[in-house]
Structure 1
């Protein structure tokens, strides 16, 4: 699986494979002091795609952040093969993680 994180923060890169993805989530939890949360608001699916409408939030360095996001997963042979994240406020998220 390839996990694409948009933007210009230190977290913005394409992560490939299980090990890199585990490292990404570990870094997110480290930077947020464990405060990172994802609330699923709706899920849309078909045979080749899963789209999740969600709200993501975190705290870092005394700042609180929350943003609507769209997460799109491509599916092949019953497995997720690619993930793309679309931000409601990319600039604010970049500032939080930078």
Structure 2
């Protein structure tokens, strides 16, 4: 896939995030997507397949009591079939709040997002939030 096609997918990803359009996001994911969630918390690990990614997203919303927010903080940076996106994410739950910068790195294949790596600014703080500490 060329950089132009990757940029098109990247822009669709950014637009779907901004609109909180989960159906559009789901449509961008390859059926065999691989999602690398960092850290040592209940969401961490490598999640394989669109249904597994939907499950981890559902748990994210459940733990955060529906407050999880993700926003791009800059333009996507494309390198061949991959793009990096600076992001800010936040969430609240009873007794705790999370507000953090990160970077999402995504690999595009056949016009769909095939693999995702997430990076968080202070992983220990993110782990504490998702683990209920």
Give the TM bin, normalised by the shorter chain. Answer: over 0.9
Give runs of aligned pairs for residues 1-98 of structure 1, distance below 5 A.
1-42=33-74, 43-98=76-131
C-alpha distance in 1, partners of 2:124/2:93? Answer: 15
Shift of 1:46: 3.7
TM-score of the superposed pair, with normalisation by structure 2: 0.70
Aligned residue pairs total 98
Segments of 5+ residues of structure 1 without an aligned counterpart are none
Higher relative helix content: 2
SS of match in other structure, 2:108: strand
TM-score, normalized by length of structure 1?
0.94
Highest CA radius of gyration, 1 or 2? 2
Q: CA RMSD in A?
A: 1.0
Deviation at 1:22, TM superposition (A): 0.8
Deviations 1:22-58 (A, max 9, x none): 1111100000000000011112124311211000100
